[in-house]
Amino acid sequence: MRRFVPILAALAVSLGGAVGRASAQDGPPPANVEVRSVERGAVQEEITLTATILPRRFANLSAAAEGQVEEVMFEAGDVLREGQPMVRIRTAPTQFQLDEARAQAQSAKAQLDELLNGTRAEDIEVSRAEVRDAEARRDLAKLEAERYQRLLGSNTVAQAEYDRADAELRRAEAEVSRAKADLARDLEGPRQEEIARARAAHEAAKARVGQLEDELDRHTIRAPFLSVAGNKGTEKGQWLSEGDVVARVSAIGELWAEANLPERYYPNVKVGSKAFVEVDALGRRVYQVPIAAKVPLADQASRSFPVRALLNNDDFQLATGMFARMRILLEPMDGEVANSLLVPKDAVVRTPDGSQQVWVAAGGDGQGMPAAEMRTIQTGRSFGDMVELVGPGLAEDDRVVTRGNEVLQPGQPLNILNQ
């Protein structure tokens, strides 16, 4: 009998452990969940408006000079770079005038440069030689006049011959004076008045060149900005007068999404408010952009105000006239305090009787798994993925279950996946 006692004792211990494990597994197993904390902040509501894609700017391009169209370099629908030539009017007559003006400007510049550089040494030597030559002719004329004067005293020559010799002397003396004056001028260099006149002539010639260059440039009509051509208003050979419209272009690089904001939301939308523009034609593509403009001029019929968001169109996928939806996050009213308790919408569970509940991850602060605790709440306004709490039931920083809350049971252990 004593031999069976150890066996019975071991069997008793084994059965006791099995019973203990069975009792530990009576409750539900841990549930895998995700949680998010209750937050405090301002309720930011949102509205969705119908929007239209519009050009940020457009222009009717007209002829700045009259003449015959020589070349048309675009078609309707072409994307045009800024400054790209579109229409060229015949320029031959203006080009001839420009060539002549450039030659005159070059000549005026050469004359000015010559004055600024002063008289050349070889020109001064020529002037000195002319003075010597004039002095030699004067000396000869003086001798001749003196000889005739002596002969006149002895009645050898007539008075008329002496008068001619005397006149020749005076002419030779005048020639010496002129030659010396030229030499003095060459030695002194040009006067400031001469330089000023030459400089003014050069500036006038340059201004004429600039005028004709501008006139020549006005014979070519260019795209004023990155744009798309909307229509084609002329053809080669047509005569254009100043002001005739040749094309209409619309900006393509950046476009407005414009919607009409109802009057009651006017104070809640500001320049800079966050907006989301969804374009159906591009596979419901969404542009996240701020409100760029709010026009304070209401449509009298609808009492609505245009609001615009600026969309980047570097890939040229957007087109004027496309339909879009604009979702705007409304700004809180002035003086509104950011003091509401906010809970994620995914945490709210609606029951068949219409009440609203959330599951809270209670406990588990380092002492084990938290447990599921159900609380009844009341909600108010909603925006985005958040909803406002208007009654008791939750406190700031409570962790509410947002995923895996469909079949929880009170007290069920929670295995939080997004710790």
What integer pLDDT is reported at residue 87 of this predicted model? 93
pLDDT confidence of 81, banded at 50, 70, 90? very high
What integer pLDDT is reported at residue 270 of this predicted model? 93
Mean of all residue pLDDT scores within the chain: 84
What's the angle, vertex CA 249, arms to CA 248 and CA 254, rounded to 5? 155
- d(C-alpha 79, C-alpha 75), whole Å: 9
Q: Which of 378, 361, 397 is nearest to 38 (CA)?
A: 397
**Single-letter amino acid code for the residue at 197:** R
For residue 413, what is the DSSP state? B
Mean pLDDT confidence for 50-61:
93
What integer pLDDT is reported at residue 131 of this predicted model? 84
pLDDT confidence of 17, banded at 50, 70, 90? very low
Query: Residue 80 forms beta bridges with which residues?
Result: 227
Mean pLDDT confidence for 107-129:
76
Torsion of CA 138, 144, 150, 152, to 10 degrees: -110
pLDDT one-digit tens code per residue, 152-162: 777 777 888 88
In terms of pTM, does the model score above 0.85? no
R_g of the chain, CA atoms, integer Å: 51
Q: What b/e string do you get for 210-226 counting C-beta neighbours within 10 Å, with b at 16 or more? A: eebeeeeebbbbbbbbb
Q: Is the pLDDT of residue 53 over 90?
A: yes
**Single-letter amino acid code for the residue at 185:** R
In sign, the C-alpha dihedral spanning 202, 208, 210, 212 is negative
Query: Which residue pairs from 202-206 have beta carbons closer than 8 angstroms and sit at least 24 positions apart in sequence?
Result: 202/105, 202/108, 202/109, 202/111, 202/112, 204/108, 205/101, 205/104, 205/105, 205/107, 205/108, 205/109, 206/105
What integer pLDDT is reported at residue 344 of this predicted model? 92
pLDDT one-digit tens code per residue, 298-353: 988 889 999 999 999 999 999 999 999 999 988 876 555 567 889 999 999 998 88
Q: Is the pLDDT of residue 264 over 60?
A: yes
What integer pLDDT is reported at residue 4 of this predicted model? 35
Q: Is the pLDDT of residue 72 over 50?
A: yes
pLDDT one-digit tens code per residue, 82-96: 999 999 998 888 888
Q: Is the pLDDT of residue 146 over 90?
A: no
